[in-house]
Structure 1
Amino acid sequence: MEKPLTERELYGLYLGLLLRKRRDEMGYTQAELEEKAQLARTTISKIERNDRIPESYTLSKIAIALGISVDHLNEEVWENVRKHKDSNSSQLVHQYSDLDYRGD
C-alpha cells in the first residue's frame, strides 16, 4: 500500500497542476512563462512537476505573468487539497477536468 501524501506534497502537486492548466489556457510554453516572469530556466518545469515548491516571491512573479492573484491561486490549490483529503484518495488525479479551477 502506498504511503499517503502529506499536505505539503498535495499542495505542491495541485499548485503545479493548476499553474500548468493556466499556462496552457494562456497559450504559453514553459520557456515563454519563465521569460515573462523573469525566472531562471527550468523553474516552471520544476514547479509543475512538484520538484520544487516556490517561495512567495517566485510564486507572485508567476501569478503576475499569468494574470492571476496569488490569493486566488492559493484558494484554489487549498480547495483541491481539501477535496483530495475528503475523498480519502491515496492517488492524485492528474486530469484537468477534476480540478477545481475557476480562473480569475
Structure 2
Amino acid sequence: MNGERLREARRRAGLNQTELGRRVGLSQSMIGAIERNERSPSPETAQAIADALGIVLDSLADNARHLPDSPDALLENRYTAEGLRELASDRVLAASLDIQPSEWRALRSLVLPTPVTKDGYIALLITIRLVTGGRGTPPRDPTESP
C-alpha cells in the first residue's frame, strides 16, 4: 500500500487519521505509520481501509502495473467501479475505442471522489490520450507552426 496515496484518499474523503482509524479498528498512530510507509496493513485491513474510504483497494497500490488490464480482468474483479464495468462489458464500444492494456490500467487506477458513468470513463480515456500524446491526439498539420 502506498502511504501517500492513502493520505490523499483519506483527505479527499474528508477524514482525519483518528476517524479513519476508528472506522477500521486501528489507532491514529497506526494510520499515520501506514501513511508514512513505516507499517503495512494486513490484506484484510487494507481492504477495510479502502472500503471505509469508498475506493477500490487497487488505487492504493504502490505500482499500477498489477492492475487489471483487460475487459475480462476488470469484469472478474469485484472492486471494479460500475461505470468502468459497463465500459468493459460493452465489447463493441471497447473494441471500436481500441483501448490498450495500459489504458485499462490507467482507468482502473483512478481514485475518483464520486462515481463515474460509462460515458465519464470514455471522457477520461480521451483525456488520458490527449495528455499522454496517445492515439487521442489529433495529428498535427506539418504546415502549422508549433
Question: How would you bin the TM-score normalised by the shorter chain?
Answer: 0.5 to 0.7
Q: Would you say how many aligned residue pairs link Structure 1 and Structure 2?
A: 70
State the distance in 2 between where 1:72 and 1:102 align: 6
Give 1 or 2 for the bigger CA radius of gyration.
Answer: 2
Partner of 2:111: 103
Report deviation, 1:72: 3.8
What stretches of structure 1 of length at least 5 have no aligned partner? 1-11, 81-99
State the distance in 1 between where 2:38 and 2:59 align: 22
State the distance in 2 between where 1:78 and 1:28 align: 24
Give the TM-score, by structure 1 length: 0.57
Q: Which moved more, 1:58-67 or 1:33-42?
A: 33-42
Give the TM-score, by structure 2 length: 0.42
Equivalent residue of 2:63, what SS?
helix
State the distance in 2 between where 1:78 and 1:37 align: 24
Partner of 1:23: 10
The answer to whether the Cα contact below 8 Å between 1:37 and 1:64 also exists between their aligned partners in 2 is no
Give, as a single letter, the amino acid of the residue that structure 2 aligns with 1:28: L
State the distance in 2 between where 1:50 and 1:71 align: 16
Tell me which stretches of 4 or more aligned residues in structure 1 moved more than 6 Å.
none
- Cα deviation digits, residues 43-94 of structure 1 (max 9, x gap): 11010011101110110111110011223433xx3139xxxxxxxxxxxxxx
Correspondences of 1:46-61 after superposition (within 5 Å):
46-61=33-48
Q: Which residue of the other structure, out of 20, 28, 32, is the alignment partner of 2:19?
A: 32
State the distance in 2 between where 1:29 and 1:61 align: 16
Give, as a single letter, the amino acid of the residue that structure 2 aligns with 1:32: E
- Cα deviation digits, residues 26-58 of structure 1 (max 9, x gap): 111000100112223421101001110111011
Partner of 1:62: 49
**RMSD between superposed Cα atoms in Å:** 2.2
